[in-house]
Structures are given as structure tokens and as C-alpha cells.
Amino acid sequence: MSNLTSKPVILVASVCLVALIAVVWLVPEGDTAGQASEETVVLNDVAQRDNEKLSDNDKTVDDVWQWEPFEENLADQKGVGEVAEDQPQLNVTFDIQSIQNGLKTVKIDQYGDVVVNPDALNALNEVFRSGSVLLDEDAMTELQRLIRMGLAGAAGEQVATIVGNFNDYLRAKKEMYELMASSGGEVDHRALLDEQAALQELYMGKEVADKLFTAEDASARYMMESMVMAKDKTISDEERAARQEELREQYEGAQYGIENWASRYSTFKQEKQSIINSGLSQQDIKQQVQRLARSHFTQQELERISHMNLGGV
């Protein structure tokens, strides 16, 4: 992984991975609140790659996972979650087999980097139980050590980094919600979502945050805007229905993990309407619209939103 630098306080990780830890079996045995890391890692070149364009040379974690280090390491042979006597006692236990099982389908590209996956956030949320489990410094250090043992090179470093950053993000998010609850005032949901997005970018890095949280954030904003509109007594039922359709179009693709959906769909929709109004034959219009859809969206993206039938007339 090139372009690594360190800066205090801010954690920025542009990695593509995460689904790989859907594999960690966390068993809390006490207070798991940890200390915030001060390490900053910048991996912009990885996150900026187009994760939709995978080559035939791409492998999975299952292809490259190394079992030998665990077999040779006495501490790891002691059993699930056990460590050598001179190691710190942890608040959680880790099962190596579960880690590997969870990671085995994660793709690694031809550069040896973990591929960004729109579904990776689900894996992270499962591992950390949607924020109910937070690792302290010792536990995180151990988890990162195990990840690096199983995944050599850039992929292991990327996974270890993003896991640590995500843990710190969850802690900051928890503190934000606790502060909000203690204020006792009326919640500004738009401002809350904006602040949460700022935390995502701060701790994960913009490129990684965009790839991880696009779908989740779009769903949250769609629900919030829909509820606000439903309570608006100043608009008619017809206007409400029209606005609801606009909201659906605005957030539909983003909820399926399609980046920059709103601007891309808006441009596509305008160009599609121009083709429809061009006066061409129905067959030519159909062919041009299909080509237009393929020019604006990748095949994987079109498959995710096939129910919208973007190439249809």
C-alpha cells in the first residue's frame, strides 16, 4: 500500500475491505470501552480505485489466508481466545476459524489490496454488534495482530487499520448520541445525520466513508425526509405523493450502495428524456436508452437496481 503517512489525532483510512471481519467472534467479558487511537493512516490510492471493475486475477481471502503462523505460534495453539501468560488479559475472545470463515469470500485485487464492498458495513456492524461492543486498546491490538498473521502484506495492514478506525468511529458516535440524549432538547434529525456523516469521514477517511456508509446513510435520510413530509399538513395528498416519488428517486440507488447516485441519476434522467423526445423510432429509442444506462452505470450497479428498469422506455 503506497502513500502511507502519520498525523496525530485524526484517523483516516482509505481501505477496501471490511467484510473480512464479519468473521470475528467477539465475546464481551466486561467493560469494553477502550481508548481512542492516535494513529493516522492515509491510504487514498486504494480507496480511489473502482471497486466495480474486478479482474479475473482477483483472489479472495480464502485463497491467501495463512494457517501456518497460527500452527507454529504456541500462544495461538492454547485455544480460542487464550493468550500466553505474559500477554495482557483481554475483555473479549477471538476464534481464529470464525475470523477466516467470515473473511474467505472477501476479494483481493491484482494489486494485493482488499476490494471495497458496499456490503462490508453489514459485516462490521455484525462484528461490533452495531456499536454495542467496543474494544479496548489491548483487545484491539490483539485482534489486529491476528489479522496480520492470517493476512500477509497490504491486505492485512488494510484490514487491521480499518477495524481499528471503525472501532474509534463507533466510540465517537456513541458519545455523540449520549450527549444528544443528555441535552433534553428536541432532536434536529438532519443536523444529527450531518454530524454523523462528518464523524464517518473524520475517522474512516472520505473515500472509505463514501463506500461504506452510502447505502445506510441514504436509507436513514430517506426515512427521515419521508416522516417529515408525512407530518406536513400544508401540502395536498397529490403534492405529497409527487414529493414522495421524488424522494424515492433521489435515494433509491444510494440505498443499494451506488455512489454519487443523486447527481448521476439526475443527469441520466435528463438525457433519457431527450432521447425519448427525439422523434426516433421506438426501436432506436429503446436501443439508445439501453446504451445510455450502460454508459452511466456499471453492470453490477444496474443489476442492483434492476427493479428500476433504467434501460426501459
Residue 48's pLDDT is 54
Average pLDDT over residues 103-118: 76
- Helix (H) or strand (E) holding 108, with range, is strand 107-108
- Give the C-alpha separation, 55 to 236, whole Å: 51
Q: Which of 284, 290, 289, 296 lies closest to 274, judged by CA?
A: 289
Output the nine-digit C-alpha cell for 68.
Answer: 501456518
pLDDT tens-digit readout, 198-237: 999 999 999 989 888 888 899 999 999 999 898 899 999 9
Q: Which of 201, 211, 138, 142 lies closest to 172, judged by CA?
A: 201
pLDDT tens-digit readout, 242-283: 999 889 888 888 888 888 898 999 999 999 999 999 999 999
- Give the C-alpha separation, 119 to 137, whole Å: 27
Cβ contact 264:294 at 8 Å: no
CA 85 → CA 74, 99, 305, distances in Å?
11, 23, 53
